[in-house]
Structure 1
Amino acid sequence: MGSNDELKSEALLELMKQHLNTDAGKAIVEKIGLVYQINIAPQKIGFNEVIYTIDFKKGEVKKGAYEGGKADAIFSFKDEDFVKIALGKMNPQIAFMRGAMKIKGSLSAATKFTPDIFPKPSKM
């Protein structure tokens, strides 16, 4: 596998970007009001990570680390686990306990990171 293989997460985050511009997305932004940094590793947490920022203050998804100070919570995942969590196929609490999801920052902010914040893809 080449290192520039597209991460499955990237497609999902692209959907998320569009979703935040919809009425449903704007309601989520109002409800959450936090900034999450998502570190996605192709194979192993901590290696070759691609960093995204999901800003639920402005309703934006951007590639790269958060530039407006400190993210409320930083999550690290393997690509496939992030997709499972976002699609509701893996419970975030269980993922955390199994080490499939690592969290830095505010745990209370992290508890709002649930599959409900993601758009439901028609098919993937």
Structure 2
Amino acid sequence: MSTNQELKSDALMELMKQHLASDAGKQLTKKINLVYQINIAPKKIGFNEVVYTVDLKKGEVTKGPYEGGKPDATFSFKDDDFVKVALGKMNPQIAFMRGAMKIKGSLSAAQKFTPDIFPKPSKM
């Protein structure tokens, strides 16, 4: 079994990268100025995770762990749950309480990781 399976989250991260490059994204970067690491597991949190760094100091999304020290907050999700939270189909607080989202690091930093970081889904 390859660990390079396609995650639904990969497409979202790609969209987020484009969103952060836009003017709206640049405003967010200035406002938030924090670094997040997001660990996304295909099926079960903690296993075969794909790691992304969302650097809202530089306005970048990169694959791989953060290399500039410690991220302000780290989130762990299953792929499906990340997609639900990112698309606004699951409230982040509820995801956290249900254990669908795990957080390490600063909770106040984590609370600034809001849905407006994600591009609005285009109407199909």
What is the TM-score when the length of structure 2 is the normalising length?
0.95
- In structure 2, runs of 5+ residues without a counterpart are none
Q: Which residue of 2 aligns with 1:57?
A: 57
Q: Which residue of 2 aligns with 1:79?
A: 79
Distance in structure 1 (CA, Å) of the matches to 2:15 and 2:119? 7
Q: Which residue of 1 aligns with 2:8?
A: 8
Structure 2 residue 50 is the aligned partner of structure 1 residue 45:
no
- Residue identity in the other structure for 2:103: I
Partner deviation per Cα, 1:82-108 (whole Å, 9 max, x = no partner):
011011110000000000000000000
Distance in structure 2 (CA, Å) of the matches to 1:78 and 1:62? 18
Runs of 4+ deviating beyond 2 Å: 1-5
Q: Which residue of 1 aligns with 2:117?
A: 117
Q: Which residue of 2 aligns with 1:97?
A: 97
Distance in structure 2 (CA, Å) of the matches to 1:65 and 1:89? 27
Mapping 1:11-30, distance limit 5 Å: 11-30=11-30
What is the TM-score when the length of structure 1 is the normalising length?
0.95
- In structure 1, runs of 5+ residues without a counterpart are none
Q: Say how many residue pairs are matched.
A: 124
Partner deviation per Cα, 1:12-63 (whole Å, 9 max, x = no partner):
0001111111001001111110000000000000000000000000000000
The percentage of aligned residue pairs carrying the same residue is 81
